[in-house]
Structure 1
């Protein structure tokens, strides 16, 4: 009897610690190739925006992204010839914030080709929209004491 109770408690704890059904579904949707089409911000004026401690907003626009959710890895490729072109690696995690609103945190950490982080720095973005064809990330920063919101819009590449 004790062994049965312990076994049931162990199964329940393993199931409850796994990702939610919504997160599993999101990983299926995000799988594949995407293009980062546009990056906008909510403040009027000219700002020197650098994303992921890598490149400018202009370099990231038109970049190609690949998500491999079964091992939470991916790559993005900067294509603009005026930038440091090439493929970069990252690991990512999708975390559900509020099931009622459908909002998620998207954690992204740049890595080397062996998926090891050189500086152990990552970026928390809000995954505000995800469908079979479109995805939107929002990053909120603090600039001069007020929110500075960067919005990144992706479309899925049709294979």
Structure 2
């Protein structure tokens, strides 16, 4: 019985990782993009079954490690930076390249040190939702055990 539970757990963990996204529309939604300008914090990360399953976000860390992470978005050149800040989670920070397209998709690339965005082939496409001047959600659609599930990152403006 223990072997079956262990095997089930390993299968769930293997399929709950997000694969990099294919190319997205590059037609920018300037209004949405300018509204994101500034400093933000992820105040919550939610998904069905979060008490039973772990999700590795952006191939970086457990999704819950993104709670409290800080994000800076610069809209005039589509750059920024982010950092994980939660105790007990891996230390991680990265420059980012991002934009919001006309399909309400938030396109994101994490850039390694000295790597230009056009050279970075891996990126992520999330849906932007409930956008106001003080908050917005990014929604990632992932496969957990053969079922599509939404991981919701709730952002709040910090200044």
CA 1:24–1:145: 2 relative to 1, 3 Å: same
Report the TM-score, using the length of structure 1 for normalisation: 0.75
Looking at secondary structure, tell me which structure has more strand per residue. 1
RMSD over aligned Cα, in angstroms?
Answer: 2.1
Structure ID, larger Rg: 1
What stretches of structure 1 move > 4 A for 4+ residues in a row? none
Question: Is the contact made by 2:33 and 2:99 (CA closer than 8 Å) also made in structure 1?
Answer: no
Deviation of the 1:110 alpha carbon: 0.9
How far, CA to CA, are the matches of 2:153 and 2:127 in structure 1?
10
Aligned to 1:133: 134
Measured in 2, the distance between the counterparts of 1:44 and 1:19 equals 34
Shift of the 113–71 alpha-carbon distance from structure 1 to 2, 3 Å rule, reads farther
Distance, in Å, in 2 between the alignment partners of 1:46 and 1:145 is 16
In the TM superposition, 1:1-159 aligns within 5 A as 19=27, 23-43=29-49, 45-97=51-103, 104-116=104-116, 120-158=121-159
Per-residue Cα deviation, 1:77-132 (whole angstroms, up to 9, x for no partner): 111231222421111121111xxxxxx00111111243536762111100012111
Partner SS, residue 151 of structure 2: strand
Report the secondary structure of 1:96's partner residue.
coil
Contact in 2 for aligned 1:89/1:115 (Cα 8 Å): no
CA distance in 1 between partners of 2:50 and 2:123 (Å): 27
* Greater relative contact order (Cα < 8 A, sep 6+): 2
Report the CA distance between 1:140 and its aligned residue: 0.8
Distance 1:72 1:126 in 2: 17
Secondary structure, counterpart of 1:152 in structure 2: strand
Q: 1:131 to 1:119 in 2, by over 3 A?
A: same
What residue ranges of structure 2 are gaps of 5+ in the alignment? Answer: 1-25
Q: Residues 26 and 43 (structure 1 numbering): CA distance in 2 closer, same or farther, change over 3 Å?
A: same
